[in-house]
Chains A and B, each alone.
Chain A
Amino acid sequence: MKILVMVKQVPDTATKVRVQPGSTSIATEGIKWVINPYDEFAIEESLRIKERLGGEVIVVSVGPQRVEEAIRQTLAMGADRGIHVKTDDVLDSQTTAEILAAVARAEGFDLIVTGKQAVDDDAAQVGPLTAVLLDVPQVTVVLKLDVNADAQRLVAERELEGTIEVVELPYPAVVTAQRGLNEPRYPTLPNIMKAKKKEVRVETLEGLGIKPALKVRIVALSEPPERPAAKILTGDPVETAQQLVDLLHNEAKVL
C-alpha cells in the first residue's frame, strides 16, 4: 500500500485568535504551530494500515518554511518520508487541492488520507476536492476503516447526525479522518532520532506547474462580538434557579 497523508500545520487550538487590524489575516506572533488535530488520526490510520499490509507512508504538506517541523513530527511518529511544497502564498481550498493532486499524480498512490477538516479555515473541502481532481472516490468523516487488499476495496463507517453510514468503495481513493478513528501514537525517542535522517523533498508551485488563482477570497476578517457582561446569580439554589428561569422567560424570552 502506498499511502499519502496530507498534513496541515495550524495554530494550536489553545490560541487566542487576534485579527491583524485592517487585514484579512490573523496576528501570528507567539502562535504555537501544531499538526491539525484530525490529521493526527490520518497519520495513525496510515501507519496502522502499513503495519498490517506493508508499503510506504508519505506525508505531504503545503505551506511556508515552518511546515517542515510538522513533517518531521510525522516522521518521528513513523512515516517513511515527506514532501514539502514550500510556498508563502495565501491559498484557498481548490488551489491547495490542485497542489496535492499534482503531487499525488506524480507519486502514484493507493490511498490518500486527510483530516476531515482543518481547524483554522474549517473548510472541510480539501479531501473531497483532491479526490475529484484525481477522479477517485471518497469517503469522509470516517470513524472506522477496513482495507480489503485482495479485492482492492474499502469498507468505512462515517459519522452522520445521529447515525452511522457504512460506505463501500474501491481504491485508489481519498479517506478523511474523524476523531474516534484511532488513538494517535506519540513519537518514541529512537523514532525521533531516525526521523532526522529521513528524506523531506522540497517542491515548489512552479515546479508542479501551478499558478494560484483563488476562487474564494476573504474580503474582511473580524473578531466575534463580545457578549455583554453576564448577570451572575449567587445564593440559595432554589431562589437562584427561579430567578434564572424568570430571566430566560421574561428578559431573554427563550423559554
Chain B
Amino acid sequence: MANKILVVLEQHEGKVRRIALEMLSLAQKLSAGNVVALTFGSQSGETQEILARYGADQIVALKEAAFDQYSSDGFADAVKQVVNAVGSDVLFFPATAWGKDLAPRTAGLLGAGLATDCTAIEAGQDGRLVATRPIYAGKAIATVVIDSPIQMFSLRPNIQPVVETNRAGQLEDVVVTTHSEAWRAKVTAVRAQGGETLELTEAEIIVSGGRGMKGPENFKLLDALAMELGAAVGSSRPVADEGWVPHSYHIGQTGKVVSPNVYFAIGISGAIQHLAGISGSKYIVAINSDPEAPIFKAANYGIVGNLFEVVPAVTEAVRKLKAEQ
C-alpha cells in the first residue's frame, strides 16, 4: 500500500522556504498522489497555489490566529491530531531550527521513530522508507530504517531537487481542538540576529574565511567576493570565537553543517572539525598560502597563494564573467 505522507511546513507571512518545495517534491516521488501538506497560521492559505505546484495533493491549513506564534507543545499536539485525522503513516519535517524543535516532540507524542537531518530517502520494502543520514558531522554515513508504524524524517535543506508536478492542492477541512491558553512554551518575540543576510545552511555558494584573514577588517574582501557570487559568508571557529564575525558564521562539527554547491575556504587550514561541517559541499575551493595545508586534500580546486592578492583577483574575474553572461 502506498505511504500516506504528511509534509509539515514552516511558513512566514505567507511565504515558504525552498525546503518546503524540496520535501513536497520528494514526497510526490515516493508516493505519488498521497501527499498532504500541513501549514500553520492565519496566512497559511496564501501558500496554497505554490504548494500544489510542487506536489501537495491536499493541504491542511490551520488558520487559527493562535498558530501565528510558535509553541512546541501546542504545535506538536496539533500535528498529532492532523495525523490521526488524515491517517498519515509517514511524516516529513524540515531539518531547520523550527523542524528540529517540533519533530522530536511530535515523535514522542506519536510513539514514532524519527530519523533527523536526512540527506536522502528512498522507498524500501513493505512500505518502509530507507533514509541516509550523515553522522559524526559527515565523517560517516548511516543508512537507517524506522520500525514503528509511523515513520518520521526530517530533511536537510538544499539537497533535494525541486520538481513541479502541479497537483490538486485541495484545501482539506481538518478540525483540531486547540486550547492555546494551555500551551506552555510560547514564542513572545523574534528579532534579527545581525550578521549574514543569506542563511548559510540554505546558500548555494559560501565564501568562508579563517585565521588567515588576519583580522575582522579584512572580511570586507570576502563580502565583496560574496556580493559578486550571490554567496553567503561563513568562517572557521576561531575567527568567530575571536569576535571577528558573529557566532552564526561558525561552520564545522560544532557549528553549522553546510551543503552548498561551492564552498570557498579562504585562509582556512582544514582542521578535521571544520572539514566535517563542509563535507556535503558539491565543490570545495581552497585558497591558502601553505601548499601543505590539509584543506587542499579535501578540495576539488585550489590556489596556492596569498589570499590578499588572490581574493581580489577572483572577485574581478567573477565580475568579468557575470558581465559577459
Taking a contact as CB atoms under 8 Å apart, the answer to whether A231 and B301 are in contact is: yes
Find out whether the CB atom of A14 lies under 8 angstroms from the CB atom of B255: no
CA distance A45 to B136 in the complex (A): 25
Could you tell me the distance in whole angstroms from the C-beta of B25 to the nearest C-beta in chain A? Answer: 21
Interface assignment of A133: CB less than 8 Å from any CB of chain B: yes
Q: Are A245 and B321 in contact (CB under 8 A)?
A: yes
Contacts of B276 in A (CB 8 A): 13
- Chain A residue with the shortest CB-CB distance to B70: A165
* Total A-B contacts with CB atoms under 8 angstroms apart: 267
Most buried by B among A129, A223, A227, A244: A244
**Residue on B nearest A134 in the bound complex, by CB:** B108
Any chain B CB within 8 A of the CB of A220? yes
Task: Verify B192–A162 contact, CB threshold 8 A.
Answer: yes
Is B272's CB within 8 Å of the partner chain A? yes
Contact of B187 among A19, A166, A241 (CB under 8 A): A166
When the two chains form their complex, are residues B193 and A120 in contact, meaning their CB atoms are under 8 A apart?
no
For the complex, is B318 an interface residue (Cβ under 8 Å from A)?
Answer: yes
Contact B188 A167 (CB under 8 A): yes
- For the complex formed, measure the closest distance between the CB of B309 and the CB atoms of chain A, giving whole angstroms: 4
Distance (whole angstroms) from the CB of B47 to the closest CB of chain A: 18
Neighbour of A245 across the interface among B202, B304, B309, B317, CB < 8 A: B317
Q: Counting CB contacts under 8 A, is A202 at the interface?
A: no
Which residues does chain A contribute within 8 Å of B100, judged by CB atoms? Answer: 124, 140-141
Q: Flag if B105 contacts A138 (CB, 8 Å).
A: yes
Interface check B224, CB cutoff 8 A:
no
User: Could you tell me which residues of chain B, from 289 to 309, have a CB within 8 Å of some CB in chain A?
Assistant: 291, 296-306, 309
B53 contacts the other chain (Cβ, under 8 Å)? Answer: no
CB contacts (< 8 Å) of A245 on chain B: these are 314, 317-318, 321
Residue of B nearest to A225 (CB): B141
Chain A residues touching B, majority SS: mixed
Interface size in chain B (residues, C-beta < 8 A): 93
Select A124's contact among B104, B261, B286, B298, beta carbons within 8 Å. Answer: B104
A125 vs B117: C-alpha distance when bound (angstroms): 11
Cβ of A241 and Cβ of B193 under 8 Å apart? no
B85 at the interface (CB under 8 A from A): no
- Closest chain B residue to A216 by CB distance? B113
Residue of B196, B306, B314 touching A244 (CB-CB under 8 A) = B314
Q: Give the chain B neighbours of A139 by CB distance below 8 A.
A: 72, 185
Contacts of B114 in A (CB 8 A): 93, 125, 216
Please state if B303 and A233 are interface contacts (CB–CB under 8 Å): yes
Contact of A137 among B130, B184, B313 (CB under 8 A): B184
Nearest-neighbour CB distance to chain A for B222, whole angstroms, equals 14
Chain A CB within 8 A of B284 CB: yes
A226 to B170, CA, bound (A): 45
The answer to whether B141 touches A164, judged by C-beta atoms less than 8 angstroms apart, is no
Asked whether, in the complex, the Cβ of A230 is within 8 Å of the Cβ of B262, the reply is: no
Contact residues in A for B199 (Cβ distance below 8 Å): 161-162
Q: Which listed segment binds A: B29-37, B57-65, B246-254? A: B246-254
Question: In the bound complex, do residue A129 and residue B104 qualify as a contact, i.e. CB atoms below 8 Å apart?
Answer: yes
Instruction: State how many angstroms separate the Cβ of B7 from the closest Cβ of chain A.
Output: 19
Q: Quick check: is A28 within 8 A (CB to CB) of the other chain? A: no
B105 pairs with A128, CB closer than 8 A: yes
Q: How far is the CA of A165 from the CA of B100 in the complex (A)?
A: 14
- Inside 8 A of B15's CB, which chain A residues have their CB? none
**Residues of the A chain whose Cβ atoms lie less than 8 Å from the Cβ of B192:** 162-164
Q: B144–A219 contact, CB under 8 A?
A: yes
- Contact of A224 with B254 in the complex, beta carbons under 8 Å: no
Q: Which 8 A-B pairs have the closest CB atoms?
A: A215-B113, A132-B108, A241-B313, A137-B184, A17-B139, A128-B104, A237-B309, A169-B185
Some 17 contacts from A to B, beta carbons below 8 A apart, are A13-B253, A119-B253, A121-B135, A122-B137, A138-B72, A158-B97, A160-B96, A160-B97, A164-B192, A169-B186, A216-B113, A216-B146, A217-B146, A218-B144, A230-B299, A233-B301, A254-B261
